[in-house]
Amino acid sequence: MKLLNKKSDQQLVQAYVKGEERAIQVLLERYKTKIYTSIYHQVKDQYLAEDIFQETFIKVINTLKAGRYNDEGKFLPWVMRIAHNMVIDHFRREKRAPNIINNDGFDIFEVLQFSDDSVETKMVKSQRDVDLKKIIQLLPDDQKEVLIMRLFCDMSFKDIADITEVSINTALGRMRYALSNLRKMIEENNLMFQLG
Residue 2 and residue 97 in one domain: yes
Distance of CA 99 to the CA centre of its chain: 13
- Number of domains present in the structure of the chain: 2
Q: How high is the mean pLDDT of the chain?
A: 77
Domain extent, residue 77, equals: 1-103
Is there a single domain that holds both residue 90 and residue 154?
A: no
CATH number assigned to the domain comprising residue 156:
1.10.10.10
Whether residues 66 and 121 fall in one domain: no
Tell whether 110 is covered by a domain.
Answer: no
Instruction: Look at residue 47 and tell me if it is in a domain.
Output: yes
Alpha carbon distance 188, 37 (integer Å):
30
Pick the more confident residue, 151 or 96: 151
Which of the four pLDDT bands, split at 50, 70 and 90, describes residue 127? low
Rounded distance between C-alpha atoms, residue 85 and residue 64, angstroms:
17
* CATH of residue 70: 1.10.1740.10
Whether 48 and 145 map to the same domain: the answer is no
39 assigned to some structural domain: yes
For residues 136 and 78, membership in a common domain is answered with no
Q: How far is CA 144 from CA 8, 76, 80, 150, 160, in A?
A: 31, 20, 16, 10, 12
User: pTM for the full model?
Assistant: 0.55
Q: Residue 50 in contact with residue 132, Cβ under 8 Å?
A: no
Q: Are residues 72 and 5 in the same domain?
A: yes
Measured between alpha carbons, how far is 170 from 88 in angstroms, rounded to an integer?
20
pLDDT digit string (tens) for 101-121?
444 444 444 444 444 445 666
**Judgement on whether residues 130 and 99 belong to the same structural domain of the protein:** no
| Mutual angle of helices 141-151 and 157-164, in 10-degree steps | 140
- The string of pLDDT tens digits covering residues 75-84 is 888 898 889 8
CA distance 68 to 51: 23
Tens digits of per-residue pLDDT, 169-190? Answer: 999 999 899 888 888 887 776 6
